[in-house]
Amino acid sequence: MFKLLHNDRHSSARLGKLKLAHATAETPLFMPVATKGAVKFVSTKELKELGTTTIISNSFLLSLRPGLDAVAKAGGLHNFIGWKGGIFTDSGGFQILRERFFQGISDEGVSFHNPFDRANAFLSPEQSISIQNSLGSDVAMVLDHVPSHDKSKKEVAIAVSRTTDWAKRCKEVHSNKKQLLFGICQGGKFKDLRKKSVLALNGLDFDGMAIGGLSIGEPKSVMNKIAGYCMPFIPENKPRYVMGLGSPVDLLDAIALGADVFDSCFPTRMARHGHVFTFEGKKNLDLAVHRNGQKPLDETCDCFVCKNFSSAFLHHLFRTREENGFRYLSWHNLFFTQQLMKEARSAIKENRFETFRNGLAKAYRKSR
């Protein structure tokens, strides 16, 4: 399932291989977010061309619309969305706890407003796993209680206890033998609660471990401190998944701490705001300096966008809110992120990851 291939000599970065029912993915691995089954402005064919092996979708939203019956009639989620690669499905717990959806939480589950018709609804750990079993994703995630970063220690302790209980219930009802099941540790910024959460979940022997409740508003120094603290408690032979990371610097920082798997809508969301990633730093296509730029976004980039279009043309598309502008910038950012993972894997293999990471961090500091 997961094979550790190499440890970097100068950091905790590691190279691995994650075997799924529909894909074999090299780690470190970045997954574009296909919340409702599609990545915004990028097709599944294009995702494959970009070097994507695995994506992540939201099982909670898919169960509401189009509904499990529609997916089942297509033969499962892979057939329904036209994707032959790997798929993780999140429980949707993070979205449910957003203020516009959330009604209440108890040990039994989460009460919320259906985001499509505002009807009252409820999701339990058992229902979440049943949904993900039915969708047929390669990896299912347990339902967890995600406390906001500013909650008190007492409130976070309740979330940890509830997350552990829900994880047990998820494990008990998980029945899709072709599907892996990952646990999610919680604990906020409190090290003792994080340790308690990870150790309790280790006892349930999940196929992988996610570190949840980060990148939700806490300072980056706290995020890295907590992620790094959790890593040694996760068994070495299990993939380590830091949820919600997508900025180039954050990804390399987490890899240096020992993380293997990531997901985020950050690359495509930034593209829709005119921000593009390059190995020389971040660029803002909304700025007038690009109005007459005849060079590509990144002269070292081999993506379709950089090979065919000038930064002046892309600036024009973005300024006029032309949809192809969002599409091209999304394509480039996803290509860059997959190339970043490829370069990171090569650097780990050659024991030069820290040099690679420091070089990119320096470039991004200069481009602020």
**Catalytic residue selected from 144, 250, 263, 298:** 263
**Catalytic residue selected from 90, 138, 253, 298:** 90
User: 90 an active-site residue?
Assistant: yes
Cα–Cα distance, 60 to 220 (Å, whole number): 29
Active-site amino acid positions = 90, 263
